[in-house]
Amino acid sequence: MCGIIGYVGDKDAVPILMNGIRRLEYRGYDSWGLAIIQGEIKLMKNTGKISESGSNSFGLKGNVGIAHTRWATHGGVTRENAHPHTSCGKEIAIVHNGIIENYQEMKKSLLAEGHKFTSQTDSEVIAHLLEKFYNKFKDIKKTLLATVKRIKGNFAFLAIFQDEPDLILGARKDSPLVIGVRKNELFFASDVLSFVEYTDKVIFLDNLEAVMAKKDSLKIFDFNGREVRKGITQVAWEAYDVSKKEFTHYTLKEIHEQSSTIKNSLYQDPIKLTKFCKSIKVAKKLFITASGTSFHAGLLARHLFSKISKVYCEAILASEFSQVMDWVDKDTVILAISQSGETADILHAVREAKEKGAKILSIVNVMSSTLDRESDLTLYLNCGPEIGVAATKSFTAQLALIYLLALTTVDEVVNINKLKRLNDYVEFILEQKNKIMNIAEKYKDSSDFYFIGRSVHHPIALEGALKLKELSYIHAEGMAAGELKHGTLALIDERTPVVVLNPKDQTYHETLSNALEMKARGAKIIGISNLNNEIYDDLILLPQIEELLYPIIEVIPLQMLAYYMAVNRGADVDRPRNLAKSVTVK
């Protein structure tokens, strides 16, 4: 995780870097810092959120600089552990995103050689290695190559040298690094979002590539020192619109955007869509992999591919993918689902599967993300940047696209048309804001919540619980409704709210019976249904839609419930504690 940005050009780098890390804060937000060349290397770092720091300059000024926003992995949240980190004499400063796996042995030998460390981070070894090799070679390129060969793990880092005041260097392995290009200016960052207001011309560095740049010269080479020629991609500015509009939080704005994003996810290139569906249909072995919310979409995909497309498949958490790796071969298709396309667990699973000959299909939101570029075929969610750490609009976009895939495999035109009109019903849910706010107020002091649903509603129950935990910090569990009686019922009493996903479909009566079992133990039942029933203490009404499609719509009240619970409890909705939007470490 963490976000990095660097700038070299003819403007003052400080406000550009500050704006940049503000936009990267979704990647981590426990501390931040920047380094600038102003005759010598000047540093500014602090704990806390960058968005809460008042100044945009700190009296610093310079044309070359680097900055960082942190999500702590090695070492606590302290000013010392905040990046940039420097060499012993502070002549070199670095910012790093990723994990240096061999930092302990590196640190030990550097300490033995007399280097002085000032932080507990793994990242600081990069500054000292650069210092060691620069003292040895007095040549920047050799220094950079020797350093990247020594470090193991995943990294994207940027460095500046006091002795080379016009220069910025960087390298990446398994963590993203992109370059923004404008006349006499270059921007380096973890993602395009951080500099898109200055340029839409982008070079995507590939794995195991390094860069050395001055404002008017850019050299990219592989880790063996061979120069690499790269094309410039023009990205769509509007795809990076990150204004909050009239909403108090990005999360709320993104929940509301679902009235258009569900439909946008269905605009797919018909040729690509057909190819994608064919690969699913003919796969001898199909594994779906993802993490967190995207995994819940993957669970629904397994269900729909099996029931509608008649394709047997498995959904495996990306972090657990090694369990099935022995079964992956050239006859295997992997469907990877990820909003960011940068989740380390997913990339790891996909890369290993690819080495074994598997075909990689992916569903991502962020175009040109690592997963997108490493896949054989990608479909995009087209839902615009999702800034709130909690996935909301990307989840319903994933669900809608998965329905489209399943229905297309069997040419179910009638249901595809119903799917395309589904976004019209989002407003019906949003209009129940006051009711949902009242429910949130009523249960805001609860310590445990349960979410239950059967069949296609089970992944939504899991997602409802994840949203509530992540946003409001209340313990919550999502369960298959039929499983309660196998143990969890022991925890249910008159203090327990239970959210029951129960639209009128073939699961309705059985789920209602499970809800009654809980009601009999005193639970407070919050029904999510298109049909009222006296057993519900509260009901959030769903619109009358094609019953097959309820999962896409029924998750929206759960997102709203989690949102208003979080607001009531004073939680930081857009940036929940301890989390980051892109989990780029394993």
Give residues in contact with ligand M6R (CB under 6 A): 291-294, 338-340, 343, 346, 389-391, 466, 470, 582-583
**Secondary element (H or E) of residue 49:** none
- Measured CA to CA, the distance from residue 578 to residue 71 in angstroms comes to 8
Q: Could you tell me the smallest distance in angstroms from the CB atom of residue 265 to ligand M6R?
A: 14
Kindly list the strands in the beta sheet with 92-100, ordered across the sheet, starting from the edge strand earlier in the chain.
85-86, 92-100, 153-161, 164-173, 209-214, 217-222
Q: Could you tell me the smallest distance in angstroms from the CB atom of residue 186 to ligand M6R?
A: 27
What's the chain's Rg over C-alpha atoms?
Answer: 25
Q: Which is nearer to ligand M6R, 63 or 294 (CB)?
A: 294
The answer to whether 148 and 341 have CB atoms below 8 angstroms apart is no
The answer to whether 185 and 10 have CB atoms below 8 angstroms apart is yes
Q: Which is nearer to ligand M6R, 500 or 585 (CB)?
A: 585
Q: Which is nearer to ligand M6R, 408 or 582 (CB)?
A: 582
- Measured CA to CA, the distance from residue 328 to residue 356 in angstroms comes to 7
The answer to whether 216 and 228 have CB atoms below 8 angstroms apart is no
Q: Could you tell me the smallest distance in angstroms from the CB atom of residue 522 to ligand M6R?
A: 31
Q: E strands of 300-431, at which residues?
A: 314-317, 332-338, 359-364, 377-380
Q: Which is nearer to ligand M6R, 514 or 559 (CB)?
A: 559
Q: Could you tell me the smallest distance in angstroms from the CB atom of residue 268 to ligand M6R?
A: 19
Q: Could you tell me the smallest distance in angstroms from the CB atom of residue 387 to ligand M6R?
A: 12
The answer to whether 12 and 37 have CB atoms below 8 angstroms apart is no
Q: Choose, from 2, 277, 313, 383, the residue flagged as catalytic.
A: 2
Q: Choose, from 88, 420, 581, 586, the residue flagged as catalytic.
A: 581
Q: What angle do CA 396, 401, 406 make, to 5 degrees?
A: 125
Q: Nearest-CA neighbor of 439 among 408, 406, 480, 472?
A: 472
**Secondary element (H or E) of residue 218:** strand 217-222
Number of H helices and E strands in the chain, helices first, is 18, 24
**Which residues neighbour 90 within 8 Å (Cβ) at sequence distance 6 or greater?**
40, 41, 43, 162
Residue 442, judged by CB atoms within 10 A of its CB (0-12, 13-18, 19+), counts as middle
Burial 279-298 (b: 16+ CB within 10 A, else e): bbbebebbbbbbbbbbbbbb
Q: Which is nearer to ligand M6R, 499 or 583 (CB)?
A: 583
The answer to whether 370 and 232 have CB atoms below 8 angstroms apart is no
The distance of Cα 40 from the centroid of its chain, to the nearest Å, equals 36
Does the CA dihedral 447-319-291-188 come out positive or negative? positive
The answer to whether 7 and 132 have CB atoms below 8 angstroms apart is no
Q: Which is nearer to ligand M6R, 377 or 531 (CB)?
A: 377
Q: Could you tell me the smallest distance in angstroms from the CB atom of residue 269 to ligand M6R?
A: 22
Q: Is 383 among the residues known to form the active site?
A: no
Q: Which is nearer to ligand M6R, 228 or 242 (CB)?
A: 242
Q: Could you tell me the smallest distance in angstroms from the CB atom of residue 326 to ligand M6R?
A: 24
Q: Which is nearer to ligand M6R, 205 or 363 (CB)?
A: 363
Q: State whether residue 128 is helix, strand or coil.
A: helix
Distance in Å from the first CA to the final CA of the chain: 10
Which residue, chain included where needed, has tokens 């981070």?
A: 121
Q: What angle do CA 417, 260, 263 make, to 5 degrees?
A: 25
Q: Which is nearer to ligand M6R, 346 or 350 (CB)?
A: 346
Q: Could you tell me the smallest distance in angstroms from the CB atom of residue 10 to ligand M6R?
A: 36
23 secondary structure, DSSP code: H
Q: Is 2 among the residues known to form the active site?
A: yes
Q: Could you tell me the smallest distance in angstroms from the CB atom of residue 390 to ligand M6R?
A: 4
Residue, CB closest to ligand M6R: 292
List the catalytic residues. 2, 581
